[in-house]
Amino acid sequence: MAQKSTVFKATLQVNDVDRGYYAGHALTLARHPSETDERMMVRVLAFALHAHEDLAFGRGLSTDDEPDLWRRDATGAILEWIDVGQPDVKLLRRAAGRAASVTVYCYGRAADPWWAQSRSELARIDHLAVIRVDDASVAALAGLVERTMQLHCTILEGEVTLGSEAAAVNVALARLRG
């Protein structure tokens, strides 16, 4: 029998001084059985960095034609396509054809080889940003995971802090492209 997704609830307060965005979000995160705490928290980080009332999670790892997060306008046009991990270059090309902007948050030990191998092909994709999340930051974010989370994120002059009442993580990001 197939395992079911584990549901996590998070209240996320975003204080993005750089964008002038201040809002709270009630998130329901379905973690696929093959998804790690690290990947789930990078999805939460990506949500915080792109927070908007219309930003939504995709259907998850089992769905290739949807991103991890996306924002659509009232007509259904895709404004932002956001993926986590090391997506296939073909998928990113298709995403760039469908969305106004595409962002990838790569992390983990597979991120550097993926970037080295895909860099030249990714350079040909318009409106694509690739951001590397530091491995120590990802590990610390995974330490925040609880079934019910109260999280806060502050973004000030490019510095990102994501935390809970118990701990805060200064997230190190490196912009590889875009």
pLDDT above 60 for 31 = yes
Question: By C-alpha distance, which of 64, 65, 58, 51 is closest to 15?
Answer: 51
Average pLDDT of span 101-130: 97
Task: Write out pLDDT tens, residues 75-93.
Answer: 999 999 999 999 999 999 9
Q: Is the pLDDT of residue 101 over 60?
A: yes
What integer pLDDT is reported at residue 2 of this predicted model? Answer: 62
**How high does pLDDT run on average in the chain?**
95
CB 83 within 8 A of CB 68: yes
Tokens describing residue 4: 């079911």
- How many CB atoms within 10 Å of residue 19? 12
Helix, strand, coil shares of the chain, percent, nearest 5, are: 25, 40, 35
* DSSP code of residue 4: P
pTM of the model: 0.95
Q: How far apart are CA 157 and CA 177, in angstroms?
A: 19
Q: What percent of the chain has pLDDT over 90?
A: 89
Q: Above 80 in pLDDT, residue 28?
A: yes
The amino acid present at 158, given as its one-letter code, is G
- Domains of the chain as residue ranges with CATH: 6-177 (3.10.640.10)
- Report the alpha-carbon distance of residue 131 to residue 149 in Å, rounded: 25
**pLDDT 10s digits, 130-140:** 999 999 999 99
| β-sheet with 168-171: strand ranges across | 21-31, 6-16, 148-156, 159-163, 168-171
Across 149-167, average pLDDT = 97
pLDDT at 3 over 90: no
